[in-house]
Chains A and B, each alone.
Chain A
Amino acid sequence: MMAETLAGDNMRVLVIEDDAEMASFIQKVLMEAGHSVDMAIDGERGLELARSTDFDALVVDRMLPAKDGLTLLKEYREAGGKTPALFLSALGDVQNRVQGLKAGADDYLSKPFAPSELAARVEALGRRQVGEPQVTSLKAGDLEMNLLTRKVTRGGKKIELQPREFRLLEYLMRHAGQVVTRTMLLEKVWDYNFDPQTNVIDVHISRLRAKIDKEFEEPLLHTVRGAGYRLQG
């Protein structure tokens, strides 16, 4: 089965945040990215809305009045809620991250965060659907990746990739059309929760780009200034 690549998914996002300024900021960022945003200012109301309406993604702050984010998420998941959720927290240390993920969050972002990071991660959530049928190959433009044979071709021509390059490309293809930040790549492709200061990722990207774009007319791998990268045909 093939997964169609879509550009600019328009998502319906629920933002549960009690800090008015932060909330309106998040709303602005997401709306600018083309999504529609609903808001809740406390845990109880947030849970209610999440249950009663079908959202594409949830953005939940950890510290909330009436019901804190962790409890909210746990209860939501226990009640069968499947919408992917991004956890926001002022405390960025690893223990809280693990806690958040265990409670049912799909991603975790600590404040302060760059708006591009938020937008990228929310959009990445939109792709994650529980119960999605297993995909055997990915496609972006004329680039094809067979997940079973581990073979990559563009325009029919075979492309040799190192294992790490393959994983990098796979992630980009799964999020084709979306902005993928360097932090996201470090976390998902390299499984690191820290930041090398030199942009080591950039070099890996440029190597990958050389392999998939150089000999072809249309560039697929774009750099999004101030945010990250995007694979788009």
Chain B
Amino acid sequence: MKLGLPTFLRTTTFKLALLYSAMFAAFSAALLIYLYYSTVYYIRTESDRRLDLEFEQLGNAYYTGGMERLSQSVLERMTRTGSTYFYYLEDSSGRKIAGHFQRMPVAPPEVDSKTVYFDFDQPEPDGTMIVRSAAGKFVRLRDNGGALLVAFDTAQQTAIVVRIQSAIFIAAPIGLILSLLGGVLISRGAASRADELARTAEAVMGGELGRRVPVRGSGDEFDRLGQRINAMLDQIEKLVDATRNTGNAIAHDLRSPLSRLRNKLEIALSKPLSQEAASATLSETVEEVDRVLATFNAILRLARLEAGAEGERVRMDVSELAEELAELFDPACEEAELSFKSQIARHLMVLGDRDLIGQALSNMLDNAVKYTPKGGAISFTVARGPDGTIDLTVVDSGPGVPPEARQLVVQRFQRLDSARTLPGSGLGLSLVDSVADMHGGELILLDAGGPARQPGLKAILRLPRA
């Protein structure tokens, strides 16, 4: 992927990379300058020191043996192998006593300790003359007015300094170029990641709700950002689906009762009604409308539940809730000529929303009562489940749910054909599933183990313990 140059120059990452490069360059420059000067300084002071040492030794010779001894020393040093110094000794009248040069090669400085620099010609073995540069120090001999010059060839020193300089001059621009290049590469990497995010967002906005940011698994900030964005997109998809489903649900499930209502009213209008009949019709109408409203509320609630917008979880005693519900449903079971048995382990705690769990259990019990024919049995148990969970189980002796239909039953508004005639909005198990989900648990549907044609349903709401 190629980014247009102007775009990427404007990116924050490029500016940052540029900033880092500049800082790097500045610090490197400072370092190099420091190195340069300290090296050069060291070289100079070193040679100074050695020169002073030379003078000291020659000085000793002069003090112990006078001019004679000094000139002897000079001669010795001149002929010594490995000697790097040039000497020149003259008497008070300027006549050469000893030394490399014919005469004083340089004008004496005002002050003795000042270093003097001069050039001189040196004959080569093949007869040619080459110019050399030298630096040295001068000493005036107080007693007899003579002068001594000791100097050394600065060629070597100069060569070292030049070498350092050239190293710096090569290193600096290379370093600068490399840091700039690095900055560019880094920023391009970052810019392309940012661009990736932008393109995913655009695709999602364009309708591809399933699109996600590619995550490289490198664990860096962009990856983490990508993961967060993907999680957000998951949530958005969920919300959009919930909204869409709600729309469908409303259309689907409210159409029939509303149509029924309309028909009833039409019929009532079409013929003269006695006061009593009219009253009855209107009452029925009100009841039907109430049912519609209740369904409507249930749909909304389920949608909100699925979107994660509802419910507040606190640590609660689910056994207590179950006991109260058992008490609530017991008479209804008796009325429907069903036996009701409950076995509830005490003080089992979950992190949950009391109303939602209550609704879920109520739906399960409701289903059991609704679908179990007379003479059947319903049991309600609450006990510890596997792996730190709590199982809230409702078993009935009704027609049960065949394995292939178990997924369907949990979907909204699905009722098995056999149960089509029974009232209820069919949201029951759908809500139980959502509640299970929201609590980090699950809804398990199994056969209750009854006879083949009527195995019964065993519904387990499994929630993690708190």
On chain B, the residues within 8 Å of A199 by CB distance are 332
Decide if B379 is an interface residue (CB 8 Å cutoff): no
Q: Inside 8 A of A204's CB, which chain B residues have their CB? A: 328, 331
Q: A164-B327, A226-B290 are in contact. Are A194 and B332 (CB under 8 A)?
A: no
Among A32-40, A90-98, A135-143, the one that faces the other chain is A90-98
CA separation between A110 and B335, bound complex, in Å? Answer: 31
Using A190-B328, A203-B331, A204-B331 as known contacts, say yes or no to A196 and B362 having CB atoms under 8 A apart: yes
Of the residues B310, B334, B363, B365, contact of A93 by C-beta under 8 Å: B310
Taking a contact as CB atoms under 8 Å apart, the answer to whether A203 and B334 are in contact is yes
Q: Are B294 and A195 in contact (CB under 8 A)?
A: yes
Using C-beta atoms within 8 Å of the partner chain, give the interface range for chain A: 20 to 34
Chain B residue nearest to A194 (CB atoms) is: B359
Q: Contact: A203 with B358, CB < 8 Å?
A: no
Given contacts A196-B328, A200-B329, contact A94 B312 (CB under 8 A): yes
CB of A112 within 8 Å of the partner chain: yes
Set of chain A residues within 8 Å of B293, measured between Cβ atoms: 112-114
Over the window 195-209 of chain A, the binary record of Cβ atoms lying under 8 Å from chain B Cβ atoms (1 yes, 0 no) is 111111001101100
Once the chains bind, are A116 and B286 in contact (CB under 8 Å)?
A: yes
Minimal beta-carbon separation of A189 from chain B (angstroms): 10
- In angstroms, Cα B366 to Cα A216, docked, is 33
Which residues of B sit under 8 angstroms from A203, Cβ to Cβ? 331-332, 334-335
Interface of B, secondary structure class, is helix
Q: Is the CB of A94 within 8 A of B329?
A: no
A112 touches B355 (CB 8 A): no
Q: Is the CB of A200 within 8 A of B332?
A: yes
Chain B: which residue is nearest A226 at the CB level?
B286
Rounded to whole angstroms, the CA-CA distance of A199 and B331 in the bound complex is 11
The 8 Å CB contact of B283, one of A114, A195, A206, A225, is: A225
A interface footprint on B281-321 (CB within 8 Å = 1, 0 otherwise) = 00100110110011011101100100001111000000000
Question: For chain A residues 77-133, which have a beta carbon within 8 Å of chain B?
Answer: 92-95, 110, 112-114, 116
B449 at the interface (CB under 8 A from A): no
Instruction: Tell me if B283 and A226 are in contact (CB < 8 A).
Output: yes
B365 contacts A196, C-beta separation under 8 Å = yes
Mask of B263-292 contacts with A, CB within 8 angstroms, 1/0:
000000000000000000001001101100
Q: What residues on A are CB-neighbors of B297 within 8 Å?
A: 92, 110, 112
Residue A10 interfacial (CB < 8 Å)? no
Residues of B within 8 A of A193 (CB): 355, 358
With A94-B312, A164-B327, A226-B286 as contacts: A192 and B355 at CB distance below 8 Å: yes
The residues in B between 307 and 366 inclusive whose CB is less than 8 angstroms from any CB of A are 309-312, 324, 327-329, 331-332, 334-335, 353, 355-356, 358-359, 362-363, 365-366
Q: Answer whether A195 and B359 are a contact pair too, CB < 8 Å, given A94-B310, A110-B297, A114-B290.
A: yes
Complex contacts, A95 vs chain B, CB 8 Å:
312
Distance, CA A114 to CA B236, complexed state (A): 33
Chain B residues within CB distance 8 Å of chain A: 283, 286-287, 289-290, 293-294, 296-298, 300-301, 304, 309-312, 324, 327-329, 331-332, 334-335, 353, 355-356, 358-359, 362-363, 365-366, 369-370, 424-425, 428
The 3 closest A-B pairs by CB, nearest first: A194-B359, A203-B331, A196-B362
Taking A197-B366, A198-B370, A226-B286 as given, write out 15 further A-B residue pairs in contact, using a Cβ cutoff of 8 Å, ordered by the A residue number: A92-B297, A112-B296, A112-B297, A114-B293, A116-B286, A116-B290, A192-B358, A194-B356, A195-B359, A198-B369, A199-B332, A203-B334, A206-B335, A207-B331, A226-B290
